[in-house]
Amino acid sequence: MTPVSSHSPHGQSPLRTVQVLGGGNAGSSVHVRSLAAGLVARGVRVTVCAPDEADHLYGFTGVGAEHVHVPRSSDPGSVAALRAVCADADLVHAHGLHASFRAVLALSGRRTPLVVTWHDRAYAEGARAHLVRLLERRVARAASVVLGTTSALVDRARRTGARDARLAAVSLPGARTAPEGEQDEAERLRPKVRAELGAIGRPLLIAVGALERHRGYEVLLDASRTWRRMDPLPLVVIAGEGPLRAELQSRIEDEGLPVRLIGRRDDVRDLLAAADLALLTSRWEARSVLAQEALRARVPLVATEVGGVPELVGDAAELLPYGDAGALAEAVVGLLGDPERCELLRERGARQVGTWPTEDETVAQVLNVYDELTQPRPLI
Q: What is the 3-state secondary structure (H, E, C) of the chain?
A: CCCCCCCCCCCCCCCEEEEEECCCCHHHHHHHHHHHHHHHHCCCEEEEEECHHHHHHHCCHHHCCEEEECCCCCCHHHHHHHHHHHHHCCEEEEECHHHHHHHHHHCCCCCCCEEEEECCCCCCCCHHHHHHHHHHHHHHHHCCEEEECCHHHHHHHHHHCCCCEEECCCCCCCCCCCCHHHHHHHHHHHHHHHHHHCCCCCCEEEEECCCCHHHCHHHHHHHHHHHCCCCCCCEEEEEECCCCHHHHHHHHHHHCCCEEEEECCCCHHHHHHHCCEEEECCCCCCCCHHHHHHHHCCCCEEEECCCCHHHHHCCCCEEECCCCHHHHHHHHHHHHCCHHHHHHHHHHHHHHHCCCCCHHHHHHHHHHHHHHHHCCCCCC
What integer pLDDT is reported at residue 11 of this predicted model? 46
pLDDT for residue 66 is more than 60:
yes
What integer pLDDT is reported at residue 172 of this predicted model? 81
Q: How confident is the model at residue 375 (pLDDT cuts 50, 70, 90)?
A: confident
What integer pLDDT is reported at residue 9 of this predicted model? 45
| Whether the Cβ atoms of residue 142 and residue 114 lie closer than 8 Å to each other | yes
Average pLDDT over residues 228-247: 96
Nearest alpha-carbon partner for 200 in 253, 257, 274: 274
Rounded CA Rg of the chain: 22
| Whether the Cβ atoms of residue 39 and residue 46 lie closer than 8 Å to each other | yes
What are the strands of the beta sheet with 45-50, ordered from one edge?
Answer: 66-69, 45-50, 16-21, 91-95, 114-118, 145-148, 165-167
In terms of Cβ atoms closer than 10 Å to its own Cβ (0-12, 13-18, 19+), residue 182 is middle
What integer pLDDT is reported at residue 16 of this predicted model? 98
Average pLDDT across the chain, whole number? 91
Report d(CA 186, CA 194) in Å as an integer: 12
Q: How confident is the model at residue 182 (pLDDT cuts 50, 70, 90)?
A: low
What integer pLDDT is reported at residue 229 of this predicted model? 87
The reported pTM is: 0.87
| Whether the Cβ atoms of residue 291 and residue 259 lie closer than 8 Å to each other | no
Average pLDDT over residues 13-34: 88
Average pLDDT over residues 320-334: 98
User: 32: which residues sit within 8 A by CB, 6+ positions away?
Assistant: 19, 21, 48, 50, 58, 60, 95
| Whether the Cβ atoms of residue 303 and residue 140 lie closer than 8 Å to each other | no
Percent of the chain at pLDDT exceeding 70: 92
Identify residue 123 by its one-letter amino acid code. Y
pLDDT higher at 121 or 203: 203
Nearest alpha-carbon partner for 206 in 305, 284, 303: 303
Average pLDDT over residues 13-29: 86
Taking only the tens place, the pLDDT of each residue in 102-115 is 999 999 999 999 99
Average pLDDT over residues 324-345: 98
What integer pLDDT is reported at residue 153 of this predicted model? 95
User: 138: which residues sit within 8 A by CB, 6+ positions away?
Assistant: 101, 104
What integer pLDDT is reported at residue 219 of this predicted model? 98
Average pLDDT over residues 274-283: 98
Average pLDDT over residues 40-62: 95
Report d(CA 47, CA 306) in Å as an integer: 35
What integer pLDDT is reported at residue 178 of this predicted model? 53
